[in-house]
Chains A and B, each alone.
Chain A
Amino acid sequence: MAAAEPYDVIIVGSGAGGGMSAYHLTKSGLKVLMLEAGRNYDPTTETPMFNIPAQAPLRGASTPDKPFGFYDATVDGGWEVPNEPYTVAEGSEEFTWWRPRMLGGRTNHWGRISLRFGPLDFKPRSRDGLGYDWPITYDDLAPWYDKTEKLIGVTGAAPPRGLTNTPDSPPGCLMESPPPRGFEMFYARAFEAMGIPVVPMHGAVVTQKMEGRNTCVFATPCGRGCSIGANFQSTTVLLPPAMATKNLTITTNALVYQVDLDANGKAKGVSYVDRVTGEHHSVTAKAVVLAAGSGETARILLNSKSSKFPDGLCNTHGMVGRYLMDSVGLNVTGQFPALEGLPPTNDDGMSVEHTYVPWWGYDKHKELGFPRGYHVEIGGGRGMPSMGLARLMADDESSVGDALRAKLRQRYGSIISFNGRGEMIPNDDCYCELDPKTKDKWGIPVLRFHWKWGESETKQAAHMVTTFLEVIDRLGGKPVGTVERDGRKAISKGGEMIHEVGTARMGASDADSVVNQYGQTWAVPNLFVTDGAVLVSSPDKNPTLSILALAWRSSDHLATLAKQGAL
Chain B
Amino acid sequence: MSDDAPQPAQEPYVRKIDRRTALTWVGVVGAATVVGAGVVVYGPKVGGKAEPKGYGTDPKLVNPDKAPWPRLLSDEELQAAAILSDFILPASGTAPAASALGVPDFVDEWVSAPYPDQLKDRPLIRDGLKALAKKAGKADAAGRAAALSDLAGSGSDFFRRFRALTIGAYYTTEEGFKDIGYIGNIAREADEGPSAEVKAAIEAQLKKLGL
Name A's B-contacting residues (CB within 8 A).
39, 45-48, 50-61, 63-66, 70-71, 75-78, 81-82, 178-182, 185-186, 189-190, 193, 216-220, 224, 338-339, 342-350, 382-390, 393, 395-396, 398, 400-402, 404-405, 408-409, 412, 474-476
Residues of B within 8 A of A395 (CB): 155, 160
List 25 A-B residue pairs with CB atoms under 8 Å apart, sorted by A's residue number. A46-B62, A47-B62, A52-B177, A57-B64, A70-B59, A178-B191, A182-B198, A185-B202, A218-B191, A338-B205, A342-B202, A344-B182, A345-B183, A347-B194, A348-B185, A349-B191, A385-B171, A386-B168, A387-B168, A400-B152, A401-B5, A401-B89, A405-B95, A474-B209, A474-B211
* Alpha-carbon gap, A54 to B182, bound state (A): 14
Contact yes or no, A396 B155, CB < 8 A: yes
Q: Is B6 an interface residue (CB 8 A)?
A: yes
Contact yes or no, B198 A65, CB < 8 A: no
Residues of A within 8 A of B169 (CB): 59, 387
- How would residues 178 to 196 of chain B score, 1 for a CB under 8 Å from any chain A CB and 0 otherwise? 0111111111101111110
Name B's A-contacting residues (CB within 8 A).
5-6, 54-59, 61-62, 64-67, 87-90, 92, 95, 106, 109-110, 113, 115-118, 152-153, 155, 159-160, 163-165, 167-169, 171-174, 176-177, 179-188, 190-195, 197-199, 201-202, 205-206, 208-209, 211
**Residue from B163, B181, B192 in contact with A382 in the complex, judged by beta carbons closer than 8 Å:** B181
**Residue from A346, A389, A401 in contact with B90 in the complex, judged by beta carbons closer than 8 Å:** A401
**Residue from B55, B167, B199 in contact with A182 in the complex, judged by beta carbons closer than 8 Å:** B199
| Of B5, B153, B181, B199, most A-chain CB atoms within 10 Å | B181
Contact yes or no, A54 B90, CB < 8 A: no
**Residue from B57, B92, B115, B184 in contact with A402 in the complex, judged by beta carbons closer than 8 Å:** B92
Residues of B within 8 A of A75 (CB): 57-58
Contact yes or no, A56 B64, CB < 8 A: yes
* Alpha-carbon gap, A350 to B188, bound state (A): 11
* Chief secondary structure at chain A's binding surface: loop
| Of B90, B118, B187, B197, most A-chain CB atoms within 10 Å | B187
Contact yes or no, A54 B172, CB < 8 A: yes
**Residue from A48, A338, A382, A476 in contact with B184 in the complex, judged by beta carbons closer than 8 Å:** A382
CB distance from B157 to the nearest CB of A (A): 9
| Of B163, B177, B182, most A-chain CB atoms within 10 Å | B182
Residues of A within 8 A of B185 (CB): 50, 52, 219-220, 348, 384
Residues of A within 8 A of B89 (CB): 400-401, 404-405
* Alpha-carbon gap, A474 to B155, bound state (A): 32
Closest 7 CB pairs of A and B: A179-B193, A390-B164, A53-B172, A387-B168, A57-B67, A338-B205, A348-B184
* Alpha-carbon gap, A350 to B87, bound state (A): 38
* Alpha-carbon gap, A47 to B62, bound state (A): 6
CB distance from B52 to the nearest CB of A (A): 13
The residue on A at minimum CB distance from B64 is A56
Contact yes or no, B6 A190, CB < 8 A: no
The residue on A at minimum CB distance from B166 is A390
Contact yes or no, B90 A338, CB < 8 A: no
| Of A58, A76, A178, A409, most B-chain CB atoms within 10 Å | A58
* Alpha-carbon gap, A81 to B56, bound state (A): 11
Query: Known: A179-B191, A382-B181. Is A57-B61 also a contact (CB below 8 A)?
Result: no
Query: Known: A48-B61, A56-B64, A346-B183. Is A388-B92 also a contact (CB below 8 A)?
Result: no
Residues of B within 8 A of A387 (CB): 165, 168-169, 172
* Alpha-carbon gap, A388 to B188, bound state (A): 26
Residues of B within 8 A of A70 (CB): 55, 59, 61, 64
* Alpha-carbon gap, A181 to B198, bound state (A): 10
